């Protein structure tokens, strides 16, 4: 895979370790260009028993470099007898499936983690595309013809692929991302983190955790915060290329003292404990891990209605509030409603952990993925 950041990076690591733990032989080819810390993940995979290769793929279309990387992948496939070739994300999915078609008898399975063409408008979710939308969609349709199974991390993503005829519906499967809920239940350390960051003990805190990039919509959260009462602070835990722009925006909005950007922290439990409400105003998603973690921690949640987030929060028992994408006014209204309505907060906080345990566990993700492998192999 080439998209070794955020949830895609985590998904790969969790899947590899889960498969190894079930006695599956695993070989990994991935990039670390976008996130050098991926090399630590690669070392951990190797230590657990996987064979790991770094191939410096990149997201943008670069024909000569892409051809070289496809040849690298083909060489890896030629001298080994694989049963399953499972590709992840756009560029690695294209290069890997092409190499597999030419050089391997393995069944080809692909997980998009959000289609690359979804970023280019139209019926997509917005954002910066890796290339022209028509070209990306046409390429995905051609590759879909030689893909035995496509695993979507959310039903919303599956439906998008079906609407745009990416692959025959009979070859689509949904395997949601999963977490270990026990890691996030009973969060603690919030008072100490608030004191460290200078957040008053009596303040109400709206929080978010994730990469600081356009996808996560933290700029929309700041626009919403400007409409909230003065005792409401915003805590955004994460790192990324938008950090400087977010600090400047907070200053322009007069929110510099109420917006806290501490960078990435490993003490996620303390961050959750410091929050009263969790917000994820994403512009696009596959299925967000941070929303699952916040729900497991018992936080009432607000999210934008994009792929993945709507799957998680729309349930028989509501688990959070959904607002239109790119709508800071609706986001502000939903946040204020939650901050003022204690009964609603408590109902949502109670429903979240139950839904995660029922539908979004790591164990279920690994077992469902293995089931797709067995099904594809049986059909082949």
For residue 227, CA distances in Å to 200, 222, 255, 312 come to 19, 9, 11, 27
pLDDT given at position 309: 97
Q: Is 207 helix (H, G, I), strand (E, B) or coil?
A: strand
Considering the domain delimited by 181-359, tell me its CATH architecture: 3-Layer(aba) Sandwich (3.40)
pTM: 0.92
Pick the CATH number of 6-178+361-379 from 3.20.20.70, 3.30.1360.40, 3.40.50.300, 3.40.50.2000: 3.40.50.2000
| Residue among 223, 331, 217 at smallest CA distance from 285 | 217
Spatial distance between the Cα atoms of 85 and 226, rounded to a whole number of angstroms:
48
d(CA 376, CA 151): 11
- The per-residue pLDDT string of the chain (380 residues; one tens digit each, 9 = 90 and over) reads 555 678 899 999 999 999 999 999 999 999 987 778 899 999 999 999 999 999 988 777 788 888 889 899 999 998 678 999 999 998 889 999 999 999 999 999 999 998 877 664 433 344 444 456 677 888 899 999 999 999 999 999 999 999 999 999 999 999 999 999 999 999 999 999 999 999 999 999 999 999 999 999 999 999 999 999 999 999 999 999 999 999 999 999 999 999 999 999 989 999 999 999 999 999 999 999 999 999 999 999 999 999 999 999 988 788 899 999 999 999 999 999 999 999 999 999 999 999 999 999 999 999 999 999 999 999 87
* pLDDT value for 4: 62
- Judge whether 6-178+361-379 and 181-359 match in fold: yes
Report the SS3 class of residue 202.
Answer: coil
pLDDT of 318: 85
């Amino acid at each position: 895979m080439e998209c070794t950041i955020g949830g895609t990076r985590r998904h790969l690591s969790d899947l590899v370790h889960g498969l190894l733990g079930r006695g599956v032989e695993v070989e990994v080819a991935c990039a670390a260009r976008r996130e050098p810390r991926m090399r630590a993940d690669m070392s951990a995979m190797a230590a657990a028993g996987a064979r790991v290769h770094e191939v410096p793929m990149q997201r943008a279309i670069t024909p000569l470099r892409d051809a070289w990387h496809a040849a690298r992948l083909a060489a890896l496939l030629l001298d080994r007898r694989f049963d399953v070739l499972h590709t992840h994300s756009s560029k690695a999915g294209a290069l890997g499936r092409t190499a597999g078609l030419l050089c391997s008898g393995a069944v080809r399975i692909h997980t998009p983690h959000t289609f690359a063409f979804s970023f280019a408008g139209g019926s997509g979710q917005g954002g910066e595309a890796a290339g022209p939308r028509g070209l990306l969609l046409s390429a995905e349709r051609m590759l879909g013809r030689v893909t035995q199974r496509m695993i979507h991390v959310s039903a919303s993503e599956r439906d998008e692929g079906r609407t745009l005829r990416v692959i025959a519906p009979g070859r689509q499967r949904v395997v949601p991302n999963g977490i270990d809920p026990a890691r996030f239940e009973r969060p603690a350390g919030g008072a100490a983190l608030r004191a460290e960051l200078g957040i008053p003990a009596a303040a109400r805190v709206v929080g978010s955790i994730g990469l600081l990039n356009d996808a996560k919509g933290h700029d929309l959260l700041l626009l919403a915060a400007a409409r909230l009462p003065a005792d409401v602070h915003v805590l955004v835990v994460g790192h990324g290329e938008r950090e400087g722009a977010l600090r400047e925006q907070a200053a322009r909005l007069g929110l510099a003292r109420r917006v806290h950007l501490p960078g990435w922290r490993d003490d996620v439990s303390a961050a959750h404990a410091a929050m009263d409400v969790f917000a994820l105003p994403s512009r696009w998603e596959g299925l967000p891990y941070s929303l699952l973690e916040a729900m497991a921690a018992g936080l009432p949640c607000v999210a934008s209605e994009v792929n993945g987030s709507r799957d998680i929060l729309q349930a028989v028992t509501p688990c959070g509030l959904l607002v239109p994408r790119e709508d800071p006014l609706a986001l502000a209204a939903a946040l204020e409603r939650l901050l003022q309505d204690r009964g609603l907060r408590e109902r949502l906080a109670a429903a979240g952990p139950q839904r995660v345990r029922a539908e979004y566990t790591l164990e279920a993700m690994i077992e469902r993925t293995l089931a797709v492998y067995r099904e594809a192999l049986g059909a082949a």
